[in-house]
């Protein structure tokens, strides 16, 4: 601190905070303020002439009353996707951290590889995989897993599958970092003390990987709740999530106030849930 | 990290944490105040102050935004109308098919247009009612009649003088078309009416409708026995209930823009509400477009030059070029939409005689008798209906 003050002078703190503060003010604070004021404006206006700020708190009640099924559906789909990601991701991250040997780097690169293509293109290619006359559906029908008139595309299964696929890397990477840090000798020591494989996992590996679990679930659940691409491309009108509703209210219905109110509700809800979750998991120092 | 100084200790020499926070908050409030003062003045720009200087004399460029599958493409020896325009005029055209939905496109450009900022486009193509809305908002430049003699001479009579642009001072139709039903005959038998789309059980989960409110609701209103060009709120409500029911029952799989055609060809959907030219453009013999028993909706899409379009004269050259009957016939033979150009029918004899009597391109008076336009709506009614519709579709 002292040496920094010598270099930057007395106002070192301002100078150091400055760039980030300006950035956040421009691209976070402004949009947030704009969103909040719009959410309290009179919906009688229109986007061309603007909206009058009338502190209309009913916007929130109306948004919640009209669109709560979308909020619930978002939480449900994102929740299922997060659990699936955790199960799939944990196994893979464990394998990479402890069993991959010299393939470790290759496997990590493979986990990140999907990021080299656009999110949108990857989701669209799922449309091909899940297509009604595609090989997957035909095979499932032949195996009597799907009924004769069954389908995958435009069902909740497709949406959840898409979410799981798209957010899986965000689960694997934090899990891997946590698992990789665990000293294998701890596991061996537990074995020496006659702990069964299950006990070793439950008492040694799992608790030590908790930071990764919390980080991974947050990185998966939060964006998955707000996602609308998967529901838009893989779902049907009956599987729309809250992101789709917000998008439709902004672009199609031109109802900015209710769209903003719904956005704020979503944000508040997620922040509240995250805080509760992190408290429960006992890892506040992560945030 | 071994010598962490507690923050309080640094207070005497440096800045206190509280001071920093107050400073930051004051700064933010200041910026916010400026921002909101700026907001009050927005939105009131009028066309006359907002028109830019035309750079066409010095820049041989043109930026065009159009709907997907709406223009012919180079194919082996076949030179598209777009390529020929670039060759003969020397104008470099950046052609982007980025209009998939009128309302969505409006949402994309309204902030720039309202604030009198360039959208990067010199010409875009929008459906009648949206064109009317934009002209009404003073966002569109008047065309110089001297630069578009072909438009004056060759525009077909049925498209002359719409209520929202009586002299075609601001707009030139690109193509006109119908909204009806398309189905994939390799999957289902003929789907002849909108009621069948909504209720037939072999179509369950295999039907899409358009996100364009006027196209989808126009047909729903016809199915309700109402006249889309003159209907009541009750009829609107009944038609909407029908749509909502079909959606909740899972009859309707999705509401889409142009992309429905891929799903129809791939067999993900079996039948849908469709635009007349798309089926032909898909070049798939299993796909059929037909007018529903209840009737067809008719519309036209219009070329518009926005106020901040910097290459207006080039845009006028483009418009004039596409109103040459030979060019229009060539385009029509490819896109299969209603050709707005007089004389194109004669030119079509030379290109593809089988299309001369195609009602989708050159409709007869009899064919036009079963078509309906959508009622003109004022801003409040339009946004109410759009909202009702959005509540059902998304």
pLDDT at B11: 40
**SS3 of B259, please?**
coil
Nearest CA in chain B to A18: B24
| Structure confidence by residue, pLDDT tens digits, B268-292 | 999 999 999 898 888 889 999 999 9
| Structure confidence by residue, pLDDT tens digits, A108-150 | 999 999 889 999 999 999 999 999 888 999 999 999 988 888 8
CATH code, domain with A199 = 1.10.3720.10
Provide, as residue numbers in chain A, all residues whose Cβ is less than 8 Å from the Cβ of B31. Answer: 25, 29-30
Is A37 among the domain residues? Answer: no
Per the CB < 8 A criterion, the answer to whether B325 and B344 are in contact is yes
A109 Cα to chain B: minimum distance (Å):
32
Instruction: Tell me whether A48 touches chain B (CB under 8 Å).
Output: yes
The span from the CA of A254 to the CA of A43, in Å, is 9
| Structure confidence by residue, pLDDT tens digits, B92-128 | 999 999 998 898 899 889 888 988 889 999 999 999 9
pLDDT at A17: 87
- More confident of the two residues A46 and A181: A181
Instruction: Tell me whether A3 touches chain B (CB under 8 Å).
Output: no
Instruction: Give yes or no for residue A3 having a pLDDT over 90.
Output: no
Per the CB < 8 A criterion, the answer to whether B109 and B276 are in contact is no
pLDDT at A282: 67
Question: What domain range is A237 assigned to?
Answer: 65-286
pLDDT at A253: 80
Instruction: Tell me whether B167 touches chain A (CB under 8 Å).
Output: no
The span from the CA of B184 to the CA of B196, in Å, is 14
Instruction: For B299, list phi and psi in degrees, rounded to 5.
Output: -155, 170
The span from the CA of B278 to the CA of A242, in Å, is 32
- More confident of the two residues A287 and A158: A158
The burial class, CB within 10 Å (0-12 / 13-18 / 19+), for A39 is buried
Range ranked top by mean pLDDT from A71-75, B13-17, B45-49, B260-264: A71-75
Rounded to the nearest 10 degrees, the angle between the axes of helix B379-393 and helix B213-223 is 80
Flag if B255 and A237 touch (Cβ within 8 Å). yes
Task: Using pLDDT thresholds of 50, 70 and 90, give the confidence band for residue B7.
Answer: very low
What is the rounded (10 degree) CA torsion for A211, A212, A215, A218? Answer: -120
Per the CB < 8 A criterion, the answer to whether B168 and B77 are in contact is no
Is A48 among the domain residues? Answer: no
Instruction: Give yes or no for residue B46 having a pLDDT over 60.
Output: no
Instruction: Tell me whether B205 touches chain A (CB under 8 Å).
Output: yes
* Spatial CA neighbour of B212 closest among B188, B263, B177: B177
B 178-197: CB under 8 A from A: none
The span from the CA of B71 to the CA of B97, in Å, is 9
Flag if B383 and A254 touch (Cβ within 8 Å). yes
| Domains located in chain B, CATH noted | 47-176+299-363 (3.40.190.10), 179-298+377-393 (3.40.190.10)
Number of independent structural domains in chain A: 1
Provide, as residue numbers in chain B, all residues whose Cβ is less than 8 Å from the Cβ of A127. Answer: 268
Instruction: Give yes or no for residue B44 having a pLDDT over 60.
Output: no
Task: Using pLDDT thresholds of 50, 70 and 90, give the confidence band for residue B223.
Answer: very high
Q: Tell me how far CA of residue B90 lies from CA of B83, B120, B314, in angstroms.
A: 10, 20, 10
Flag if B254 and A25 touch (Cβ within 8 Å). no
Interface test with A, best of B5, B19, B47, B205 (most A CBs within 10 A): B205
pLDDT at A258: 94
| Structure confidence by residue, pLDDT tens digits, A168-221 | 999 999 999 999 999 989 989 999 999 999 999 999 999 999 999 999 999 999
- More confident of the two residues B19 and B266: B266
Is A14 among the domain residues? Answer: no
Question: How far from the centroid of its chain's Cα atoms is residue A96's Cα?
Answer: 23
Instruction: Tell me whether B5 touches chain A (CB under 8 Å).
Output: yes
- More confident of the two residues B16 and A240: A240
Mean pLDDT of B211-239: 95
Close Cβ partners of A20 (under 8 Å, ≥ 6 residues apart): none
Flag if B205 and A151 touch (Cβ within 8 Å). yes
The span from the CA of B18 to the CA of B10, in Å, is 12
Rounded to the nearest 10 degrees, the angle between the axes of helix A156-181 and helix A58-94 is 60
pLDDT at B40: 37
pLDDT at A283: 59
Instruction: Give yes or no for residue B20 having a pLDDT over 70.
Output: no
Instruction: Tell me whether A52 touches chain B (CB under 8 Å).
Output: no
Is A80 among the domain residues? Answer: yes
Per the CB < 8 A criterion, the answer to whether B261 and B163 are in contact is no
Provide, as residue numbers in chain B, all residues whose Cβ is less than 8 Å from the Cβ of A149. Answer: 204
Is A3 among the domain residues? Answer: no
Instruction: Give yes or no for residue B9 having a pLDDT over 50.
Output: no
| Structure confidence by residue, pLDDT tens digits, A243-276 | 999 998 888 888 899 999 999 999 999 999 988 8
Mean pLDDT of A225-243: 93
Between A83-87, A162-166, B363-367, the lowest mean confidence (pLDDT) is in B363-367
> Is pTM, for the whole model, over 0.90?
no
């Amino acid at each position: 601190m002292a040496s920094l003050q010598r270099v930057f002078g007395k106002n070192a703190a301002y100078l150091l905070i400055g760039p980030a503060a300006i950035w956040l003010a421009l691209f976070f604070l402004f949009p947030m303020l704009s969103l909040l004021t719009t959410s309290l404006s009179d919906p009688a206006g229109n986007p061309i002439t603007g909206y009058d700020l009338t502190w209309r708190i009913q916007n929130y009640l109306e948004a919640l009353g009209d669109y709560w099924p979308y909020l619930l559906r978002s939480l449900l789909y994102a929740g299922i996707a997060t659990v699936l990601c955790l199960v799939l991701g944990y196994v893979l991250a464990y394998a990479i951290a402890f069993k991959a040997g010299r393939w470790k780097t290759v496997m990590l690169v493979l986990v990140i590889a999907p990021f080299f293509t656009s999110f949108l293109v990857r989701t669209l290619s799922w449309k091909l995989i899940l297509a009604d006359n595609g090989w997957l559906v035909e095979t499932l029908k032949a195996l009597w897993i799907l009924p004769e008139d069954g389908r995958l595309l435009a069902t909740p299964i497709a949406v959840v599958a898409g979410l799981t696929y798209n957010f899986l890397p965000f689960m694997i990477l934090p899990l891997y970092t946590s698992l990789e840090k665990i000293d294998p000798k701890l596991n061996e020591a537990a074995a020496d003390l006659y702990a069964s494989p299950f006990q070793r996992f439950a008492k040694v590996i799992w608790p030590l990987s908790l930071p990764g679990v919390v980080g991974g679930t947050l990185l998966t659940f939060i964006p998955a709740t707000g996602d609308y691409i998967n529901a838009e491309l893989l779902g049907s009108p009956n599987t729309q999530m809250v992101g789709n509703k917000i998008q439709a209210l902004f672009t199609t219905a031109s109802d900015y106030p209710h769209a903003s109110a719904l956005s704020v509700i979503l944000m508040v809800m997620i922040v509240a849930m995250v805080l509760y979750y992190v408290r429960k998991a006992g890892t506040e120092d992560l945030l | 990290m071994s010598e962490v100084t507690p923050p309080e200790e640094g207070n005497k020499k440096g800045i206190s944490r509280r001071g920093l926070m107050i400073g930051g908050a004051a700064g933010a409030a200041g910026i916010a105040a400026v921002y909101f003062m700026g907001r009050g003045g927005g939105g009131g720009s009028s066309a006359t102050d907002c028109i830019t200087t035309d750079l066409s004399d010095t820049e041989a460029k043109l930026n065009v935004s159009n709907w997907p599958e709406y223009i012919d493409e180079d194919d082996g020896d076949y030179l598209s109308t777009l390529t020929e325009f670039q060759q003969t005029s020397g104008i470099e055209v950046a052609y982007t098919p980025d209009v998939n939905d009128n309302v969505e496109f409006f949402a994309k450009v309204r902030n720039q247009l309202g604030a009198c900022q360039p959208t990067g486009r010199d010409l875009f193509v929008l459906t009648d009612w949206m064109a009317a809305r934009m002209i009404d908002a003073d966002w569109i430049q008047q065309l110089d009649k001297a630069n578009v003699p072909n438009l004056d001479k060759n525009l077909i009579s049925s498209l002359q003088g719409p209520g929202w642009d009586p002299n075609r001072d601001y707009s030139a139709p690109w193509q006109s078309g119908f909204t009806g039903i398309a189905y994939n005959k390799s999957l289902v038998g003929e789907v002849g009416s909108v009621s069948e789309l909504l209720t037939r059980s072999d179509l369950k989960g295999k039907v899409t409708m358009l996100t364009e409110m006027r196209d989808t609701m126009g047909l729903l209103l016809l199915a309700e026995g109402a006249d889309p060009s003159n209907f009541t709120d009750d009829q609107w409500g009944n038609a909407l209930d029908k749509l909502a029911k079909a959606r909740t029952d899972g009859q309707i799989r999705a509401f889409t823009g142009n992309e429905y055609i891929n799903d129809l060809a791939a067999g993900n959907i079996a039948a849908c509400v469709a635009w007349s030219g798309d089926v032909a453009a898909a070049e798939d013999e299993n796909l059929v477009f037909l007018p529903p028993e209840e009737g067809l909706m008719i519309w036209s899409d219009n070329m518009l030059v926005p106020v901040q379009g910097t290459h207006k004269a080039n845009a006028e050259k483009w418009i004039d070029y596409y109103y040459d009957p030979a060019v229009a016939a060539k385009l029509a033979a490819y896109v299969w939409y209603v050709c707005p150009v007089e004389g194109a029918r004669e030119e079509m004899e030379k290109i593809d005689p089988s299309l001369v009597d195609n009602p989708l391109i050159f409709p007869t008076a009899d064919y036009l008798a079963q078509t309906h336009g959508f009622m003109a709506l004022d801003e409040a009614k339009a946004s109410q209906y759009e909202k009702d519709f959005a509540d059902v579709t998304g």
